[in-house]
Amino acid sequence: MASQLTTLAKKHPLVLFFVLAFGISWLIWLPLAASAQGLLNRPVSPYLHLIGGLGPMLAAMIVTSLVAGKAGMQELVGRMSLWRVNLRWHLIAWFGPAALFIIAAVIARVVWGARPELSHFGQTKEYPELPVFVYWAANIFFFGFGEETGWRGFALPRLQKSHNAFTATFILSIFWALWHLPLFWFATDFMKMGLGGAMGWYFSILLGSVLLTWLYNSTQGSILIVAIFHGTLDIVFSSPVSGDLATIIGMLITLWGIAVFLVYRPATLSRTGKQIMESRSRVVAGDLS
């Protein structure tokens, strides 16, 4: 069985990665969905939602270990801690989503006269017992690193080896969106979405993916940068301020993603080339074509 799994990993690493990423996360989220739908009459910890976010990271590590062994794992962990990048990328990752929040609040105030309750920024209704900074750290770890180690760290450079950056991003956005499907059965915000809301949500996933590819390719494949950006963006979106503010932030993300698409070439979505999987244990910058 182990040898067959290794053979599959070496022949079809992306296939095995997606199967494992979906399988691990969905299995962890299953009790939450069953409870929310009345199929399980017992308390279920909401922390399973956080833990399920680790599925893509665990899948990436399992497949990397099977395909490239210790050298591959060292390379992957190295990109997870790659902090020596231009300061502007750190500023975007740490403070970009907060800047969007402030801009959205200004727009809401000027256009509609709304006064968002800014004191709730960074808080959460899902885990109210957690101190704010503990919640932030958990979000960045479970949803930032938990997802991005897999999506951008493992899958994107392999997709970019055969496709241009935007095509790879589009393909990955579909899998990323489908991975969220169980949330439509237990996560409050997802359960409220109608068809139109779900379509708008996917469009934000696509444009958010463009931003994440831009950050990843521009930082020599720093999983650290995309994980921080992903985590801080989730914190901003889930802040219990007002639905209108979240909608405005989504629109700003969309405009930002479109701007990146137009300014940077779809072939690379960066000025430094796309990051590709050169071998089983090394990600490098491809050419600029």
Q: In the prediction, which pLDDT does 250 show?
A: 87
Q: In the prediction, which pLDDT does 218 show?
A: 97
Which residue positions in the chain have pLDDT lower than 50? Answer: none
Q: In the prediction, which pLDDT does 237 show?
A: 85
Q: In the prediction, which pLDDT does 239 show?
A: 83
List phi, psi (to 5°) of 46.
Answer: -65, -15
Q: In the prediction, which pLDDT does 243 show?
A: 58
Percent helix, strand and coil across the chain, each rounded to 5?
A: 75, 5, 25
Q: 131's torsion region: left (phi>0), alpha (psi -120 to 50) or beta?
A: beta
Q: In the prediction, which pLDDT does 228 show?
A: 98
Q: In the prediction, which pLDDT does 281 show?
A: 60
Q: In the prediction, which pLDDT does 29 show?
A: 98
Q: Any residues with CB less than 8 A from the CB of 48 and at least 6 apart, and which?
A: 28, 29, 31, 32
Q: In the prediction, which pLDDT does 1 show?
A: 67
CB 287 within 8 A of CB 238: no
Q: In the prediction, which pLDDT does 188 show?
A: 86
d(CA 160, CA 148): 16
Q: In the prediction, which pLDDT does 120 show?
A: 75
User: Could you give the number of structural domains in the chain?
Assistant: 1
CB 72 within 8 A of CB 280: yes
Q: Which has the closest alpha carbon to 125: 238, 25, 27?
A: 238
Q: In the prediction, which pLDDT does 60 show?
A: 98
Domain carrying residue 6: 2-285
